[in-house]
């Protein structure tokens, strides 16, 4: 089974020299202008336990340190190299366009709930993901903090920076659809 | 590089309880559905809830430790944080028991860790 962490640009750069899930070494499958960063497994690894999630997340973040990456969601698996190459070829154009869209940017999550003092039920007011220039993250954060100060009746939670998982089209993600 | 999911918290309210409560509502709903149809247990989803509960627990814990260290918590808040943590711990235990942790159903599209956060 091939576990896919992300699809990135600059295929001439080798994958990071670190371990993936189940301590498997990372490998790259190159196709045209794209590199899929993967690990190979006899048995599909990774219950979505927190540790495993974090290994996946760290690999994607490491990749993002030196190039644009389309993060694959945890659980993206393919049966073999051939099907991976097929997916890369079939989606080459949309992957390249998506890479342009996310380059230099990160995802920030914002949730806002009405606090108990305001309403009997904890009502969700907002759940959103934002694609933000990496350099603008501190500014975004201070805006959230200011909003929180102005609106004590709302609890605002802001998380990140995440790889832009929410900004990779699900049709594209399906290219690496999980195998049973 | 961060060392823990808790470090993904960019900005958080003083009181994370609304989020913890929302989470409990979510897994209550899930448990209800599973009980209604025990032949069709969505184990992957259950595992996801487990993970999210654990992530939230870590975040709440980290927040609590930071605030206690900063010394800007009144006793009531410390107690409430403690109760939230204990409730999350207990819920984790129940969920683990209900679903088991040896889940082999890995066919899961988990998405950003932050989806529920």
Q: What's the pLDDT tens digit per position in A57-83?
A: 889 999 999 999 998 877 778 889 998
Ranges of beta strands (E only) in A120-174 are 124-133, 154-162
The mean pLDDT value of chain A amounts to 84
Q: In A, residues 149-178, which contact B (CB 8 Å cutoff)?
A: 155-163, 165-166, 173, 178
Q: What is the pLDDT confidence band of residue A129, given thresholds at 50, 70 and 90?
A: confident
Three-state SS at A39 = strand
β partners of residue A38: A4, A27
Cα separation, B6 vs A165, in Å, equals: 19
pLDDT in tens, A18-27: 899 999 999 9
Mention every residue, 6+ apart, whose C-beta is less than 8 A from residue B111. Answer: A73, A74, A165, A166
pLDDT at B107: 27
B26 touching chain A per CB within 8 A? no
Q: Count Cβ atoms below 10 Å from residue B14 Cβ, excluding itself.
A: 14
Question: What is residue A124's DSSP assignment?
Answer: E
pLDDT for res A159: 80
State the Cα–Cα distance between residues A78 and A39, nearest whole angstrom: 11
Contacts of A66 in chain B (CB under 8 A): none
Cβ–Cβ contacts within 10 Å for residue A94, how many?
15
Do A47 and B47 count as a contact with CB atoms less than 8 A apart?
yes
Instruction: Write down the ipTM of this complex.
Output: 0.70
Higher local confidence (pLDDT), B51 or A1: A1
**Winning range, highest mean pLDDT, from A41-50, B97-106, B107-116:** A41-50
With a pLDDT cut of 70, the percent of chain A lying above it is 86
* Residue of B57, B96, B112 to mutate, testing the A interface (most A Cβ within 10 Å of its Cβ): B112
Examine the pLDDT at A180 and tell me if it is beyond 60: no
pTM: 0.70
Are A54 and A23 in contact by the 8 Å Cβ rule? The answer is no
């Amino acid at each position: 089974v091939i576990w896919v962490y992300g699809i990135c640009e600059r295929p001439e750069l080798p994958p990071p020299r670190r371990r993936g899930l189940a301590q498997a070494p990372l490998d790259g499958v190159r196709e045209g202008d794209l590199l899929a960063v993967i690990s190979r497994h006899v048995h599909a690894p990774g219950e979505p336990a927190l540790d495993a999630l974090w290994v996946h997340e760290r690999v994607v973040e490491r990749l993002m340190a030196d190039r644009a990456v389309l993060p694959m969601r945890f659980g993206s698996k393919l049966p073999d190299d051939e099907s991976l190459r097929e997916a890369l070829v079939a989606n080459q154009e949309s992957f390249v366009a998506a890479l342009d869209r996310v380059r230099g940017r990160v995802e920030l999550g914002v949730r806002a709930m009405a606090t108990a003092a305001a309403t009997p039920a904890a009502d969700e007011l907002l759940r959103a993901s934002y694609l933000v220039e990496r350099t603008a993250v501190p500014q975004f954060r201070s805006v959230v903090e200011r909003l929180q100060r102005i609106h004590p009746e709302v609890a605002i939670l802001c998380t990140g920076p995440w790889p832009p998982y929410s900004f990779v089209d699900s049709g594209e993600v399906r290219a690496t659809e999980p195998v049973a | 590089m961060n060392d823990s999911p808790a470090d993904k918290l960019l900005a958080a309210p003083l009181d994370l309880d609304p989020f913890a409560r929302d989470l409990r509502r979510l897994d209550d709903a899930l448990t209800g559905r599973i009980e209604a149809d025990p032949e069709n247990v969505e184990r992957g989803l259950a595992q996801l809830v487990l993970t999210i509960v654990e992530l939230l627990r870590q975040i709440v814990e980290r927040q609590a430790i930071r605030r206690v260290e900063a010394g800007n918590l009144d006793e009531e808040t410390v107690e409430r944080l403690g109760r939230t943590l204990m409730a999350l711990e207990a819920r984790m235990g129940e969920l683990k028991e209900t679903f088991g942790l040896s889940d082999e159903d890995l066919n899961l599209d988990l998405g950003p860790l932050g989806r529920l956060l």
